[in-house]
Structure formats: structure tokens, C-alpha cells
């Protein structure tokens, strides 16, 4: 629920460079094994039908699988992904380190 509120809250601010889609993985199971979609909250980034990976410092560069509560933090991540994808990079580096040693 927290992530839904963040996504709805930032939709107007990121509408010029990003679209958000909500997908129920139980109704559309085609990509569950390919992208390892098992968590209740997963955010993935795509640009021109290409999966964009993001280095968050967690070791999992494919997706964000925890709920984010700060809207500005999420906007910053989306902006970094957009800029990196426009430059043709398949892996972009997050503006903040989300590894467990810095989260607590």
C-alpha cells in the first residue's frame, strides 16, 4: 500500500518522462520466472522494450523489491534511470546506496 501511494503521488511529476503500470503477477504469470517476480512489491524499469538495470548497492540490479516511502527519492531514481537509458546504458547507478549496512 505504501508503494501504491508513492506511485500515485508522483505520477503527475514524472509523466513527461515515465509511465507507470501496475501488473498483478498472479493474473499475468508470463514473466514471473524470467524476471524472478515473487515479491509482493517489485519495481522494474524498461526503456524502448529493453530492461534497464539499476545498481542500488543491494546486489540485485534487476529491480527494486521493497516499498519506498519517500516520493522525492523515487523521483530521483526514475530520473537517473531515464537519463542513463537515454544515453544507451543498460546499467545505471542509483543516486543513493541502499545496501543493508547503510539502511539501518
Which CATH code fits 2-103?
Answer: 3.40.30.10
* Residue 55, strand partner residues: 93
| Segment 19-47, tens digit of pLDDT | 998 888 888 888 888 888 888 888 999 99
Place of cell 505520477: 11
Residue 26 and residue 54: Cα distance in Å, rounded?
Answer: 25
The pTM for the full model equals 0.85
Domain assignments of the chain as residue spans, ordered by start: 2-103
| Segment 79-99, tens digit of pLDDT | 999 999 999 888 898 888 887
Half-sphere exposure of 53 (CA within 13 A, CB side): 10
Amino acid at each position: 500500500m505504501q508503494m501504491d501511494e508513492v506511485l500515485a503521488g508522483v505520477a503527475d511529476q514524472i509523466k513527461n518522462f515515465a509511465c507507470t503500470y501496475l501488473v498483478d503477477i498472479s493474473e499475468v504469470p508470463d514473466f514471473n520466472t524470467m524476471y524472478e517476480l515473487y515479491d509482493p512489491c517489485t519495481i522494474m524499469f524498461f526503456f524502448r522494450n529493453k530492461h534497464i538495470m539499476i545498481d542500488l548497492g543491494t546486489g540485485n540490479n534487476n529491480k527494486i523489491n521493497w516499498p519506498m516511502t519517500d516520493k522525492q527519492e523515487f523521483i530521483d531514481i526514475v530520473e537517473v534511470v531515464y537519463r542513463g537509458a537515454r544515453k544507451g546504458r543498460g546499467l545505471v547507478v542509483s543516486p543513493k546506496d541502499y545496501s543493508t549496512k547503510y539502511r539501518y
